[in-house]
Amino acid sequence: MDLGTPVTRQPLDTAFIERLQSRFGKDLHFGEAMLRQHGSNEAHFDVVLPDAVVFARSTEDVVDLVNLCVAAHISIVPFGAGTSIEGNAVPIRGGVSVNLSEMDAILAVHAEDFDCTVQAGCRREKLNEHLRDTGLFFPIDPGANATIGGMASTRASGTNAVRYGTMREAVLSLKVVTPEGKVITTARRARKSAAGYDLTRLYVGSEGTLGIITEVTLRLHPIPETISAAVCGFETLEGAVTTVVQSIQSGVPLARVEILDDMQIRAVNAWSKLSLPEVTTLFFEFHGSPGGVAEQIELVGMLAAENGGGSFDWSNLPEERARLWKARHEAYYAAVALRPGAVGWTTDVCVPISRLPECIIETKRDLAGASMPATILGHVGDGNFHVIFAMDPDSVDEMREVKALNARLVARALEMDGTCTGEHGIGIGKQDWLVQELGESVDVMRTLKRALDPQDLFNPGKIFSL
pLDDT at 184 over 80: yes
What is the overall mean pLDDT for the chain?
Answer: 94
Is 84 in a helix, a strand, or coil? coil
pLDDT value at residue 332: 93
Residues paired with 284 in a beta bridge: 230, 257
Specify the pLDDT at position 4. 47
With cut-offs at 50, 70 and 90, classify the pLDDT of residue 8: low
Rounded Cα distance between 265 and 118, Å, is 36
Rounded distance between C-alpha atoms, residue 455 and residue 436, angstroms: 26
Rg (CA), the chain: 22
C-alpha distances in angstroms, 23 versus 63, 76, 455?
Answer: 12, 16, 23
Say which CATH class 14-102 falls into.
alpha beta
313-315 and 28-29 as β-strands: parallel, antiparallel, unpaired? unpaired
Q: Which pLDDT belongs to residue 143? A: 80
Q: Can you give the pLDDT at residue 5?
A: 46
Does domain 106-222 fall into CATH 3.40.50.10470? no
Summarize pLDDT for 420-457 with one digit per residue, the tens.
999 999 999 999 999 999 999 999 999 999 999 999 99
Residue 392 has pLDDT above 60, yes or no: yes
Q: Rounded to the nearest 10 degrees, what angle do helices 262-272 and 318-329 cross at?
A: 120
Does the pLDDT at position 2 exceed 70?
A: no
Angstrom distance (rounded) from CA 432 to CA 414: 13
Task: Give the model's pLDDT for residue 7.
Answer: 56
Q: pLDDT band at 144, cuts 50/70/90?
A: confident
Quick count: other Cβ atoms within 10 Å of Cβ 319? 8
Top pLDDT among 340 and 3 is at 340
Q: pTM (2 decimals)?
A: 0.94
Return d(Cα 446, Cα 247) in angstroms, integer.
40
Per-residue pLDDT averaged across 214-233, rounded? Answer: 96
- Rounded Cα distance between 53 and 272, Å, is 35
Mean pLDDT of 226-233: 94
Alpha carbon 99 to chain centroid distance? 18
Q: For the chain, which residues make up each domain, given as ranges?
A: 14-102, 106-222, 226-415, 431-455
CA–CA distance, 403 with 411 (Å, rounded to integer): 12
User: CB of 413 within 8 A of CB of 384?
Assistant: no
226-415 carries CATH number 3.40.462.40: yes
| Number of Cβ atoms within 10 Å of the Cβ of 464 | 17
Give the rounded distance of the alpha carbon of 132 from its chain centre. 24
Summarised one tens digit per residue, pLDDT across range 242-294 is: 999 999 999 999 999 999 999 999 999 999 999 999 999 999 999 999 999 99
Closest to 390 (Cα-Cα) out of 445, 447, 333: 333
Residue 62 has pLDDT above 60, yes or no: yes
Q: Does the fold of domain 226-415 match that of domain 106-222?
A: no
pLDDT at 1 over 90: no
